[in-house]
Amino acid sequence: MSDSALAVPSAFRCSVCDGTEVARATERGDGARVLFCAGCGMGVVEHRPATTAQFYTDDYYHRAEDSAHGYDDYEFTAEHGLLWTKLLIEALAPAGGAVLDIGCATGFLLRRLEGGWRRCGIEANPTAAAIAAASGVEIIGADLLVPGFATAHEAAFDIVTSIATFEHVLDIKEAVAASLSVLAAAGVLILEVPLISETRDNSNWYNGSYEHIFYPTVRGMQSLFAGFPDLNFQGFETAIAGFSSTYIGVATRDPARFAVVQRLLAAMTADEPEALSDQEVRLNLAYTVVHEFRPTPARVLRLPLLLERYFTPNLGKRLTQLWHEDAVRASAADWNAGQARHWRGAYEALQADPLTLPARAVRRLRRAFVKAGQ
Ligand SMILES: [Zn+2]
């Protein structure tokens, strides 16, 4: 990719701020250009397709080796990518309520929510939507931007989630507006989008996922949400180790609700988990270790608290990746030789174990953590 000279069509108009000036353009791996608005910083692909449904065929969720669209293994990605979302939702609404997941795929997040929920989803892929529906998810549409959708479901939801979906829509401001209008008065919108970081490597976003339309920046996201009056919004970069960044944001119109959101986000992103409640520790670990891939010795020692409740083979697979990274780093003299041996031992043991016995795997993980922390 490279920043290219600005031969920008005069037709450019930013979806977020209505600006007509392009600050810079970056070429994606497929040759398409991403234009960044001078006014608000939001990035958008130069030539937007007329529709997007063509991208979300069945291959999207289990893609062929040569496809540049979609996920290698949706369930694996979903499991480590969505645990923090599940725990944040449950902390925000312990008794449940009505939840809408935009781009719910097979209903992965909705199915795993504990509590009494009306579980609703929007999904573009009919096969995924049918799987979600068969598992009890109420599929209420295929596209958030269909005329009449927001009116039909006005103020219906206590929680709306949009995880890795707003970058796929044809108009990001309209999509956020529709999401906000289906929120109840004290409802909370939780979102995550890929981020074009100012400080980190963005190549994962430029060299794949060519179905993306929008390329959010921190300034672009702040401008986008500042455009909605009386909305409380907090957002931040998630610097995923070994991968490009994402941006997480939470929005609500209710100030008291926002205070709760801010307290939970502070716990979720805290550097050290010592001062947190057990529920907050689980949220912190799901975000910092499982999603962001940033263990510290204090976090690693608290991992059994998370694993005892939420261990699955896919989570085990994710953590073995983490251990492998740590073992590699340890050999680079970051850690002492004894710790490196324990990490590598744990990694190899889990590689050899098909993880068909979660309880046994939890015990094995805990032994490895305790040893690694010594
Ligand atoms: Zn703009």
pLDDT at residue 323, as a whole number: 66
Ligand 1 centroid – CA 220 distance (Å): 7
C-alpha of residue 44 to centroid of ligand 1, in Å: 10
pLDDT per position as a tens digit, 293-314? 887 777 877 887 888 888 777 7
- 232-238 and 246-252: which strand pairing? antiparallel
E-only strand ranges, 180-312: 183-194, 214-215, 232-238, 246-252
Model confidence pLDDT, tens digit, residues 137-184: 999 999 999 999 999 999 999 999 999 999 999 999 999 999 999 999
- pLDDT of 65: 44
User: What size, in residues, is the chain?
Assistant: 374
Q: Has residue 38 got a pLDDT over 60? A: yes
In this predicted structure, the answer to whether residue 47 has a pLDDT above a threshold of 80 is yes
- CA 70 / ligand 1 centre spacing (Å): 27
Residue 19 tokens, joined = 């600006």
Average of per-residue pLDDT values in the chain? 85
Query: Which is higher by pLDDT, 330 or 153?
Result: 153
Question: What is the reported pLDDT for 296?
Answer: 78
Within 8 A by CB and 6+ apart from 210, the residues are: 28, 29, 30, 32, 68, 69
Q: Which is nearest to 283 in space by CA: 96, 82, 75, 117?
A: 82
Mean pLDDT is lowest, of 11-15, 220-224, 259-263, 370-374, for: 370-374
- Whether 133 shows a pLDDT value over 80: the answer reads yes
- Which is it for strands 33-37 and 22-27: parallel, antiparallel or unpaired? antiparallel
pLDDT at 1 over 50: no
Taking only Cα atoms into account, the Rg of the chain, rounded to an integer number of angstroms, comes to 21
Does residue 52 have a pLDDT over 80?
no
Task: Please say whether the beta carbons of 161 and 191 come within 8 A.
Answer: yes
C-alpha closest to that of 236 among 287, 294, 166, 186: 287
- What is the 42 CA–ligand 1 centroid distance (Å)? 6
User: Does 321 score more than 90 pLDDT?
Assistant: no
Q: What φ, ψ does residue 43 adopt, rounded to 5°?
A: -100, 145
The reported pLDDT for the residue numbered 21 is 96
Q: Quote the pTM value.
A: 0.86
40 CA → ligand 1 middle, Å: 4
Of 248, 226, 250, 224, which Cα lies nearest the Cα of 237?
A: 248
What separation in Å is there between the alpha carbon of 20 and the centre of ligand 1?
8
Distance 21 CA to ligand 1 centre (A): 8
Q: What angle do CA 92, 80, 264 make, to 5 degrees?
A: 25
Give CA–CA dist 169/179, Å, rounded: 12
pLDDT at 319: 77
The three-state DSSP-derived secondary structure of 334-353 is CCCHHHHHHHHHHHHHHHHC
| DSSP 3-state percent helix, strand, coil across the chain (nearest 5) | 45, 20, 40
Residue 358: what pLDDT? 46
Q: Which residue has the tokens 């796929």?
A: 168
What are 198-247's pLDDT values in tens digits? 999 999 999 998 999 999 999 999 999 999 999 999 999 999 988 999 99
In the sheet where 43-45 sits, what is the strand order?
22-27, 33-37, 43-45, 214-215
